[in-house]
Amino acid sequence: MTANQKPFKRILLTGAAGGLGRILRERIKPWAEIVRLSDISDMGAAQAGEEVVQCDLADKAAVHALMEAVDVVLHFGGISTENNFEAIMTANIQGTYNIYEAVHKAGVKRVVFASSNHAVGFYKTTDYIDANSPRRPDGMYGISKCFGEDLSRYYYDRFGIETV
């Protein structure tokens, strides 16, 4: 790899209009020749080296189209706060399933999945927990993050898709 060569041809960032997505939009540019940005909300115009694709993660066909020529996915899309189950189910559970299934079908081998402290939110702040502690979600949002963690484990065990 030369000094000007980037590690990836194309990175997909879901949730690009969200709080973390807006920060990552600028910070991941050195890692890819093209950054494909996706969100259900408006992300503004594409800048140099970007592709902007408005997408509802609950739309299976649209999510599969997002994966075309993608090397790695940074999955930050979905609802990022507590909400009713129906909204969480559509955005976070169905959306995350669609991401992993599309990743598998497209042959993408790496996903960065944004989980949350809400997956263990019912522990007391004074409790010591580690990676082997049971999850204790503190709401529907936390449950959706537990689902995403389990789904990522399944896709790794079954298909070798790395999730970090």
- 43 vs 86: CA distance, rounded Å: 25
Residue whose C-alpha is closest to residue 61's, from 110, 94, 13, 18: 94
- Are the CB atoms for 35 and 75 separated by under 8 Å? no
Is residue 141 annotated as a catalytic residue, yes or no?
yes
- Are the CB atoms for 38 and 55 separated by under 8 Å? yes
Q: Pick the catalytic residue: 123, 141, 154, 156? A: 141
Q: Residue 38: phi, psi to the nearest 5?
A: -140, 145
- 96 vs 91: CA distance, rounded Å: 8
Q: State the catalytic residues.
A: 141
